[in-house]
């Protein structure tokens, strides 16, 4: 079964990210083997490998290795991002920076949430992931008032639900089913 990671990139005790993750998981249903990747639990330190991951050098830290193995085991990923001062969270940027080859060609869906349907952060995150040669198969921007409340009550519009479904179908079409 296609292994799909869902990355939660905020850490507030009252974060909305968890509820958005639940919506993504419910939309994915039983079509995927889900890995909820909560960056609060992953708890990476600030990037502390001696060389850039792009160099292809072996990772030297236990946390770097295990983070690389976790993302490397995925067939696809949905990255959830709030807008923090018009951008993604520091934790997300740091977690992305830790890896390179693991992102290359990985079918990736970006789900942003915030004011203005996350249209500040989504282009930035897309640019970052394209730089790492991720295969962006869809972006969904959820807006406060239109799709959810600031407290995380979800009332996702049909249009956004359809956008997520299109992205999930695109993942299914990209990842070949295993030979029985
Ligand atoms: C430090 C900080 C900066 C924020 N900056 C923005 C912003 O620039 N644009 C925006 O739409 N919302 C902004 N917000 C509101 C967040 O998008 C909103 O609180 C969201 O729920 C945060 O995600 P989380 O609940 O998963 O932590 C900011 C919130 C915080 C805590």
Tell which atom from ligand 1 comes closest to the C-alpha of 16: 25
Residue pLDDT, tens place only, 68-110: 999 999 999 999 999 999 999 999 999 999 999 999 999 999 9
Residues 6+ apart with CB under 8 A from 170: 107, 137, 138
**Percent of the chain scored above 70 by pLDDT?**
98
What pLDDT sits at residue 86?
96
Does residue 113 sit in helix, strand or coil? Answer: strand
* Residue 84 CA, ligand 1 centroid: distance in Å: 5
* The two three-digit tokens of residue 107, written as one number: 């079918």
107-114 and 76-82 as β-strands: parallel, antiparallel, unpaired? Answer: parallel
Ligand 1 pocket, 164 CB below 6 A?
no
pTM to 2 decimal places: 0.97
Ligand 1 pocket, 2 CB below 6 A?
no
Ligand 1 pocket, 112 CB below 6 A?
no
Ligand 1 pocket, 107 CB below 6 A?
no
Q: Which stretches in the chain have pLDDT values below 50?
A: none
The sheet with strand 107-114 has its strands ordered as: 33-38, 3-8, 76-82, 107-114, 135-143
**Percent of the chain scored above 90 by pLDDT?**
96
Decide which of 3.40.50.360, 3.20.20.70, 2.60.40.1840, 3.90.79.10 is the CATH code for 3-174.
Answer: 3.40.50.360
What pLDDT sits at residue 175?
76
Domain ranges of the chain: 3-174
Ligand 1 pocket, 10 CB below 6 A?
yes
What pLDDT sits at residue 176?
73
């Amino acid at each position: 079964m296609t292994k799909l990671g869902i990355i939660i990139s905020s850490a507030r005790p009252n974060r909305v990210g968890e509820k958005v993750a639940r919506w993504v998981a419910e939309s994915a249903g039983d079509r995927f083997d889900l890995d909820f990747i909560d960056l609060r639990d992953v708890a990476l330190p600030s990037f502390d490998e001696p060389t850039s991951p792009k160099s292809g050098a072996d990772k030297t830290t236990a946390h770097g290795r295990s983070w690389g193995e976790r993302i490397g085991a995925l067939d696809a990923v949905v990255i959830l991002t709030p807008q923090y001062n018009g951008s993604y969270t520091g934790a997300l940027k740091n977690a992305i920076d830790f890896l390179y080859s693991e992102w290359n060609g990985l079918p990736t869906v970006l789900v942003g949430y915030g004011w203005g349907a996350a249209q500040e952060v989504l282009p930035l995150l897309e640019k970052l992931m394209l730089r790492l040669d991720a295969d962006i198969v869809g972006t969904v921007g959820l807006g406060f008032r239109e799709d959810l409340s600031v407290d995380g009550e979800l009332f996702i519009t049909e249009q956004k639900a359809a956008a997520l479904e299109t992205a999930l179908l695109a993942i299914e079409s990209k990842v070949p089913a295993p030979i029985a």
